[in-house]
Amino acid sequence: MTSPHHPIQIQEVSLQSIAQEFGTPVYVYDGEKIVNQIKSLQAAFATVPLKIKYATKALSNISILKLVKKTGEGIDAVSIEEVRIGMLAGFEASEIMYTPSGVNFKEVQEAVELGVMVNLDSISLMEDFGALYGGTVAACIRINPHIMAGGNAKISVGHSQSKFGISIQQLPEILDVVEKYKIKIVGLHIHTGSDILDAEVFLKGGNVLFEAAMSFPDLKFLDFGGGFKVAYKAGDPATDMEEVGTKVSAAFNEFCEKYGRKLELWIEPGKFLVSESGYLIVEATVVKNTPQLTFVGVDSGLNHLIRPMMYDAFHDVYNLSNPAGEPKPYHVVGYICETDTLAKDRMLASVSKGDLLVFKNAGAYGISMSSNYNSRLRPAEVLIWEGKAHLIRKREEFEDLIKNQVVIAI
Ligand code: PLP
């Protein structure tokens, strides 16, 4: 018996059995869901030469990356460490796009030495890059399209006040630097933000790219970034990928005619690929009644899932142990010494100490944004693939926490 909204099993593996075998808290991912999301994007953009560059930052476990690799797609990496993790997962350098944000030039050099394409995100970086490599190393340019879009201010990154990319208004300057060093620009990139619902935003971004592209004769691709919204609860709107795919592809094909050559269309989804695949299973450690409220304390907190605190994100949560219990209102809170309310004022099937609760949409920016705050350990990760549960990251142990500390004699 599996409710589509509150699953008790994934690919016929029961979530209870995962908690029993691997303990709690534990992140669980449905590999099939990730592959299906990729397939749905491939179908939505079937009329263009599409390349998906999965945004590694969303969930960077090597086994998850191997799954993406198996589908024939590539990755976007935002740090040299993500580049290296991608290579460990089996990606060729040519399948990795490196999109740094104001990093030390040494990191850029390292990426170039590995053979990875760099997405240049400032005029200053273009200068350094051009001075060292001239026209010998192909590169991409991250344009800031001056578009305000995204679920909230923290994830709106393509507007005029954002630190990301090079302002589209600075195009003449960009062209001067390209000309000065004869830099070979093979791609233009935008990433406007996350949780973007409206197809028109992607079209608007596309128009900025199409116009700018006419000044770059050597292009091989245009990269539209990520930012597709998924549903966080029943009835929550999600980006209509069929609509985005159809409209953006049509505009892109029209642009290619004008450009005179067929280019590749790249996208960099993070959340869309992995958010809904992930579940965080926790245990209720205390049920605390106050004169006003009932809190459920769990063996996790903002150290494992920071999105509710960082972005006011809504993560649906349900009681796995007592699904038929009488619904009651709860605040689900973490064990961190901060106000880490993971789920506020939610109706949950009556919770008792020891019950397992499951947070949904935990695949994207869950473990990848986790920390050791309060000197707590990170949870284990389990991938369900081909009907079996596979441990893909061991739970941290106390030794992991202190291994880099250097204790001096005092
Ligand atoms: N590409 C870049 C450059 C990003 O910074 C991000 C995330 O912020 C993404 C793609 C993926 O965004 P999302 O997970 O919203 O699809």
Q: What is the CATH number of the domain that holds 223?
A: 3.20.20.10
Domain that holds residue 133: 31-274
Mean pLDDT of 12-33: 98
**Number of domains the chain contains:** 2
- Exposed, middle or buried, 258 (CB in 10 Å: 0-12/13-18/19+)? exposed
- Does residue 4 carry a pLDDT above 70? no
Cα 194 to ligand 1 centre (Å): 6
Q: Which residue has the least CA distance to atom 5 on ligand 1?
A: 191
Please spell the DSSP secondary structure of 18-48, one letter per residue. Answer: HHHHH-SSEEEEEHHHHHHHHHHHHHHTTTS
- Per-residue pLDDT at 286 exceeds 90: yes
Pocket test for ligand 1, best of 191, 266, 361 (most atoms within 8 A of CB): 191
- Asked if the structure places residue 3 within a domain, the reply is no
CA gap 361, 363 in Å, rounded:
6
Please tell me the distance from the alpha carbon of residue 119 to that of residue 101, in angstroms, as a whole number.
9
Average pLDDT for residues 330-337, to the nearest whole number? Answer: 98
Euclidean distance between CA atoms 334 and 375, whole angstroms: 14
**Tokens found for residue 289:** 């009644």
**Domain identity same for 201 and 341:** no
| Span 195-210, pLDDT tens digits | 888 999 999 999 999 9
How far does the centroid of ligand 1 lie from the alpha carbon of residue 197, in Å?
14
Span from the CA of 363 to the centroid of ligand 1 (angstroms):
14
Tell whether 395 is covered by a domain. yes
Tell me, yes or no, whether 46 lies in a domain.
Answer: yes
Confidence of residue 307 (pLDDT cuts 50, 70, 90): very high
Three-class SS state of 343:
strand
192 CA to centre of ligand 1 in angstroms: 9
Say yes or no: 241 and 315 in one domain.
no
Place of tokens 């709107």: 237
Instruction: Give residue for tokens 């060292």.
Output: 132
Please tell me the predicted confidence (pLDDT) of residue 130: 98
Average pLDDT on 152-170 reads 83
Answer whether residue 291 is part of any domain.
yes
Catalytic pick among 337, 406, 408, 410? 337
Name residues whose C-beta falls within 8 Å of residue 374's C-beta, 6 or more positions apart in sequence. 301, 303, 335, 336, 337
CA-76 nearest atom, ligand 1: 1
Tell me, yes or no, whether 4 lies in a domain.
no
On whether both 216 and 201 belong to a single domain, the answer is: yes
Calpha distance 312→364 (Å, rounded)? 15
pLDDT (0 to 100) of residue 1: 39
Note the pLDDT tens digit of each residue in 35-76. 999 999 999 999 999 999 999 999 999 999 999 999 999 999
The closest-lying atom of ligand 1 relative to the alpha carbon of residue 78 is 3
Check: CB of residue 195 under 8 Å from CB of residue 155.
yes
161 Cβ contact partners less than 8 Å away, ≥ 6 residues apart? none
> 102 and 234 share a domain?
yes
- d(C-alpha 341, C-alpha 305), whole Å: 10
- Could you tell me which residues are beta bridge partners of residue 346? 330
Mean pLDDT of 128-155: 89
Closest atom of ligand 1 relative to the 195 alpha carbon: 15
The CATH number linked to 292 is 2.40.37.10
In the predicted structure, residue 285 carries a pLDDT above the cut 90: yes
Residue (of 112, 107, 60) closest to 278 by Cα position: 60
Mutational test site, ligand 1, from 97, 194, 197, max ligand atoms within 8 Å of CB: 194
228 CA closest ligand 1 atom index: 16
Q: What is the pLDDT of residue 149?
A: 75
78 and 180 share a domain?
yes
Cα angle vertex 63, ends 60, 68, to 5°? 80
What is the average per-residue pLDDT within 267-276?
Answer: 98
Same domain, 265 and 395: no
In the numeric block, the tokens 């979530």 are attached to 15
**Residue at a domain's end among 241, 257, 274:** 274
Nearest ligand 1 atom to the CA of 268 is: 10
CA 363, distance to chain mean position in Å, is: 9
Whether 337 is catalytic: yes
If asked whether residues 246 and 344 sit together in one domain, one would say: no
DSSP 215: T
User: 196 lies in a domain?
Assistant: yes
Cα–Cα nearest to 22, from 267, 361, 282? 282
Q: 300 C-alpha to center of ligand 1: Å?
A: 26
d(CA 57, ligand 1 centre) in Å = 8
What value does the CA radius of gyration of the chain take, rounded to a whole number of Å?
23
Which residues, other chains included, contact 368 with Cβ-Cβ below 8 Å and sequence gap of 6+? 57, 58, 59, 60
| Distance (Å, whole) CA 168 – CA 313 | 31
Burial class (CB in 10 A: 0-12, 13-18, 19+), 101: middle
- Give the ligand 1 atom nearest the CA of 194: 15
Q: 195: closest CA among 307, 343, 65?
A: 307
- Nearest-CA residue for ligand 1 atom 3 is 191
Asked if 176 and 252 sit in the same domain, the reply is yes
Domain closes at, from 250, 274, 298 = 274
- Would you say residue 2 has pLDDT above 60? no
Lining residues, ligand 1, CB within 6 Å: 55, 57-58, 76, 99, 191, 194, 225-228, 268-272, 364
| Whole-number Å distance between alpha carbons of 368 and 65 | 13
Residues 51 and 174 in one domain: yes
Three-class DSSP category at 200: helix
pLDDT in tens, 340-368: 999 999 999 999 999 999 999 999 999 99
- Cβ distance 145 to 208 under 8 Å? yes
Last residue of a domain, one of 243, 259, 274: 274
Q: Are residues 241 and 379 in the same domain?
A: no
Question: How confident is the model at residue 164, as a pLDDT?
Answer: 87
Query: What is the pLDDT of the chain when averaged over all its residues?
Result: 96
C-alpha 30 – ligand 1 centre gap (Å): 21
pLDDT band at residue 107 using 50, 70 and 90 as cut-offs: very high
Does one domain contain both 308 and 351? yes
192 and 82 in a common domain: yes
CA–CA dist 11, 47 (Å, integer): 32
Report the C-alpha gap between 304 and 332 in whole angstroms.
14
- Mutation choice for ligand 1 from 57, 274, 361, CB with most ligand atoms inside 8 A: 57
The reply to whether 378 falls in a domain is yes
What's phi and psi for 163, nearest 5 deg?
Answer: -75, -10
The percentage of residues in the chain with a pLDDT greater than 70, rounded to a whole number, is 99
Whether residue 410 lies inside any domain: the answer is no
